[in-house]
């Protein structure tokens, strides 16, 4: 099966270049760094020990920052290469990675690109984060006898059903890992069934991730513009959820005349069409991405900028976590909770099953089954800010209790680090 996949990626090689250039023309790739996607490094390999960590996108990259720090402390002269596949994660990591850590885009999963990447960087340890498994890249890493570890491995029931049909493809990839560290016992069972050897449950590093930042001047200005207005946040909203937010706003507006609904789309490119639709329905909207300032008349504030979730969590007493009313599995609730924002979710939170299980066990879950329940739950919290504050603090305490996961993960990895110079 792996040989068939390899042959297919070779045959489709020219199409990959066309697709990447088309994405770059649409602003979804960095044209100046497109060579990295073909395995052509844009930087020299630093001397000495090099640990390579691959994270899919923003959330995974942020979650491994404490691990990067631990690695660098253990290797005083070593370096960490972090690869991701998204433009947003590359931009964010530029300002967040510590000294001796640097970012490159992951190469496309084509044998020639993979070979160039590994030939240049020659990592002495490869760490893969969560569930993005590129067959050519993984197989060639294994063939070069580079130790490989999967950290905070996650396997949803949906992914598990798919991979059971493609077991011949995934089994040798999982068996090739020297160590598999997963988030929950359910993940361990699924990974083991698909071929992983003795997966270990350590939890998710997102418990220990640094809090999202916010620019102090912007935070003060936003606070002045908001005053004492009643407000709530719909964070990382996916297509299929915007109508739920709209209907919820209409219900809440009748109960809270000064209501402001802040909407952060998961994909900022959807903001323009969203603004036009809601204005056509009679709502007063302001769109941050085009510089429209928030005013007392603004009903819905569309925050379509990158890297500002930390700002909006700080100014919102309660947030709905997007991706939880569609079959996505939810976005990261920990980021909001760390900043004192009470969290509500829809029924689809399988990406964060460990977090939700903890909340249920401690009576802290506000998981909403149907969209019709959302305005009712929000009304309770908005009408009694002290209740929202207590819920937020209790959720925050539950999250803080799990921050020691970084110790478990590092202890499992430390024996595989290259020898310090």
Q: Residue 122 contacts by C-beta under 8 Å, 6 or more apart in sequence?
A: 45, 50
| Mean pLDDT to the nearest integer, 296-325 | 96
Does pTM top 0.85 for this prediction? yes
Q: In what order do the strands lie in the sheet with 148-153?
A: 101-105, 79-84, 50-54, 125-129, 148-153, 179-182, 200-201
CB 300 within 8 A of CB 283: yes
The predicted pLDDT at position 121 comes to 98
Q: Which structure tokens are listed for 388?
A: 């929202």
Measured CA to CA, the distance from residue 137 to residue 194 in angstroms comes to 19
Lowest mean pLDDT: which of 157-166, 265-274, 314-323, 352-361?
Answer: 352-361
CATH fold for domain 2-203+404-416: Rossmann fold (3.40.50)
Q: Provide the terminal-to-terminal Cα distance of the chain, rounded to the nearest Å.
A: 41
Q: Residue 109 contacts by C-beta under 8 Å, 6 or more apart in sequence?
A: 9, 134, 135, 136, 137
The chain-wide mean pLDDT, for the chain, equals 94
Q: Which residues participate in catalysis according to the annotation? A: 60
Where along the chain do the CATH 3.40.50.11720 domains lie?
Answer: 2-203+404-416
pLDDT band at 60 (very low <50, low <70, confident <90, very high): very high
Q: In angstroms, what CA-CA distances link 413 with 114, 127, 171, 397, 408?
A: 25, 9, 22, 27, 9
The predicted pLDDT at position 11 comes to 87
Where along the chain do the CATH 3.40.50.2000 domains lie?
Answer: 216-400
Q: Is the pLDDT of residue 364 over 90?
A: no
pLDDT digits 0-9 by tens, 68-127: 999 999 999 999 999 999 998 999 898 899 999 999 999 999 999 999 999 999 999 999
Q: Is the pLDDT of residue 367 over 90?
A: no
The CATH H-level (homologous superfamily) assignment of domain 216-400 is Glycogen Phosphorylase B; (3.40.50.2000)
Cα angle 253, 255, 259; round to 5: 40
Q: What percent of the chain has pLDDT over 70?
A: 100
The predicted pLDDT at position 360 comes to 81
Q: Is the pLDDT of residue 420 over 80?
A: no
């Amino acid at each position: 099966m792996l040989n068939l996949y390899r042959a297919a990626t070779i045959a489709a090689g020219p199409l990959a270049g066309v697709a990447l250039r088309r994405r770059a023309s649409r602003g979804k790739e960095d044209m100046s760094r497109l060579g990295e996607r073909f395995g052509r490094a844009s930087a020299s390999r630093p001397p000495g020990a090099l640990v390579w960590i691959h994270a899919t996108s923003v959330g995974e990259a942020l979650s491994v920052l404490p691990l990067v720090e631990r690695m660098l402390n253990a290797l005083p002269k070593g370096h960490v290469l972090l690869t991701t596949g998204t433009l947003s994660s590359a931009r964010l990591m530029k300002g967040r990675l510590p000294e001796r850590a640097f970012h490159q885009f992951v190469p496309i999963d084509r044998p020639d690109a993979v070979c160039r990447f590994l030939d240049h960087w020659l990592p002495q340890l490869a760490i893969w984060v969560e569930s993005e498994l590129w067959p050519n890249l993984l197989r060639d890493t294994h063939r070069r006898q580079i130790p490989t570890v999967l950290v905070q491995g996650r396997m949803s029931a949906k992914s598990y059903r798919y991979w059971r049909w493609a077991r011949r493809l995934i089994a040798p990839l999982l068996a090739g890992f020297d160590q598999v560290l997963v988030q929950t016992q359910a993940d361990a069972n699924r990974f083991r069934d698909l071929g992983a050897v003795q997966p270990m449950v350590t939890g998710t590093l997102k418990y220990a991730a640094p809090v999202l930042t916010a620019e102090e001047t912007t935070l003060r200005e936003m606070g002045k513009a908001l005053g004492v207005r009643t407000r709530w946040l719909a964070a990382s909203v996916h297509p299929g959820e915007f109508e739920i937010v709209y209907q919820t706003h209409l219900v809440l507006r009748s109960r809270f005349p000064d209501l402001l609904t802040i909407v952060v789309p998961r994909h900022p490119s959807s903001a323009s069409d969203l603004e036009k639709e809601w204005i056509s329905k009679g709502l007063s909207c302001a769109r941050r991405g085009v510089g429209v300032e928030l005013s007392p008349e603004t009903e819905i504030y569309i925050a379509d900028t990158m890297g500002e979730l930390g700002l909006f969590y700080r100014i919102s007493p309660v947030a709905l976590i997007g991706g939880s009313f569609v079959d996505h599995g939810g976005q990261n609730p920990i980021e909001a909770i760390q900043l004192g924002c009470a969290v509500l979710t829809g029924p689809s939170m399988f990406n964060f099953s460990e977090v939700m299980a903890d909340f249920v066990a401690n009576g802290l879950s506000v998981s909403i089954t149907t969209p019709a329940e959302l305005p009712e739950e929000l009304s309770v919290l908005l009408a009694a800010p002290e209740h929202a504050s207590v819920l937020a603090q209790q959720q925050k305490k539950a999250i803080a209790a799990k921050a020691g996961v970084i110790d478990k993960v590092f202890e499992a990895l430390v024996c595989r680090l290259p020898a310090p110079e």
